[in-house]
Amino acid sequence: NAGVMQNPRHLVRRRGQEARLRCSPVKGHSHVYWYRQLPEEGLKFMVYLQKENIIDESGMPKERFSAEFPKEGPSILRIQQVVRGDSAAYFCASSRGGRDTEAFFGQGTRLTVV
C-alpha cells in the first residue's frame, strides 16, 4: 500500500537547465497537487490536476513552469531554464477527489539551482 512517491529526492541543476520532478500518487487517487516550500516557510499551492486535465494552475508562474498528469504514468512538474530562485522543496500530494479532500503528501524533491 504505497504512499505518494516522488523522485528524485534531491536534484541539482545549473542555471538554464531543465528540471523534471515526478510524482506517483497513492493507488486509486486521481487528483494530484503540487506545492512549493521555501526554507522556513509554509506550503504555497502551485497546480491541481486530475487525470489528463489541469483544474487549477493559479499558483504556478506563467513562464517556464508546466505540469501534466497523463492517463498512464506519474505526474510531472517541469521547470525550464531554471534560475536560482527556483531552488526550493517541491511537494506533491494526492487525494481521491470529490468530497474527499484529504491529501497525502510525498517526501518532496529538493531542487538546488547552482
Partner 1 sequence: TQLLEQSPQFLSIQEGENLTVYCNSSSVFSSLQWYRQEPGEGPVLLVTVVTGGEVKKLKRLTFQFGDARKDSSLHITAAQPGDTGLYLCAGPQTGANNLFFGTGTRLTVIP
Residues of this chain that interact with partner 1 (CB under 8 A) are 4, 6, 31, 33, 35, 40-45, 48, 55-56, 91, 93, 95, 97-98, 101-108
Q: How far is the CB of 49 from partner 1 (least distance, A)?
A: 10
* Residue with smaller CB distance to partner 1, 89 or 113: 89
Q: Which is nearer to partner 1, 79 or 109 (CB)?
A: 109
Distances from the Cα of 74 to the Cα of 16, 32, 50, angstroms: 24, 10, 12
**Distance of closest approach, residue 41 Cβ to partner 1, in angstroms:** 8
Which C-beta is closer to partner 1: that of 14 or that of 98? 98
Dmax over CA atoms of the chain, in Å, equals 42
Closest approach of partner 1 to the CB of residue 62, in Å: 18
Shorter beta-carbon distance to partner 1: residue 19 or 91: 91
What is the residue-wise DSSP string for 43-107? Answer: EEEEEEEETTEEEE-TTS-SSSEEEE--SSS-EEEEE-S--GGG-EEEEEEEE-BTTB---EE--
Amino acid letter at 4?
Answer: V
